[in-house]
């Protein structure tokens, strides 16, 4: 079963995929990402390569943190945060990252990159993609 595509993403896909709910949508997205990351998109896509490469960095960060910490962001132990929803927990983490950005204190990490990752996790937690999450 293919995970549902976020409506905001689906709205920007080619019409033949949007209207047919084509299962090849992930192939189409990978093709577009590869073209952008390699600099092969046309002039109608300014900054496509930078966008793709930064997006890949965020994805890599999420995958590495998932490997290192397990699924602690979407399925926490709830020792100190019992009773909070996943979105509330992620909101607290995002608030911390915003505070670090505002204060210019990064504690050795990149709070903007972390924030982008938490926003992706927040989208997953609030979407049909949570079906792919235990």
Give the rounded percent of residues in the chain with a pLDDT score beyond 70: 86
Instruction: Over range 109-114, report the average pLDDT.
Output: 92
Instruction: Over range 16-26, report the average pLDDT.
Output: 68
Check residue 64 and give left, alpha or beta (phi > 0: left; psi -120 to 50: alpha): alpha
Q: Can you give the residue ranges of every domain in the chain?
A: 7-129
| pTM of the full structure | 0.81
Q: Are 115 and 102 in contact (CB under 8 A)?
A: no
- Per residue in 52-80, pLDDT (tens digit) is 999 999 999 999 999 999 988 888 888 98
């Amino acid at each position: 079963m293919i995970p549902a595509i976020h409506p905001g993403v689906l709205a920007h896909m080619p019409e033949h995929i949007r209207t047919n709910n084509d299962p090849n949508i992930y192939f189409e997205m990978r093709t577009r990402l590869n073209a952008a990351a390699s600099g092969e998109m046309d002039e109608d896509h300014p900054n496509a390569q930078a966008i793709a490469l930064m997006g890949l960095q965020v994805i890599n960060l999420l995958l590495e943190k998932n490997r290192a910490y397990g699924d602690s962001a979407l399925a926490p132990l709830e020792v100190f945060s019992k009773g909070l929803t996943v979105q509330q927990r992620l909101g607290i983490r995002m608030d911390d990252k915003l505070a670090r950005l505002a204060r210019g204190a990064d504690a050795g990490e990149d709070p903007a990159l972390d924030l982008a990752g938490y926003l992706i996790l927040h989208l997953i937690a609030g979407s049909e993609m949570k079906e792919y999450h235990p």
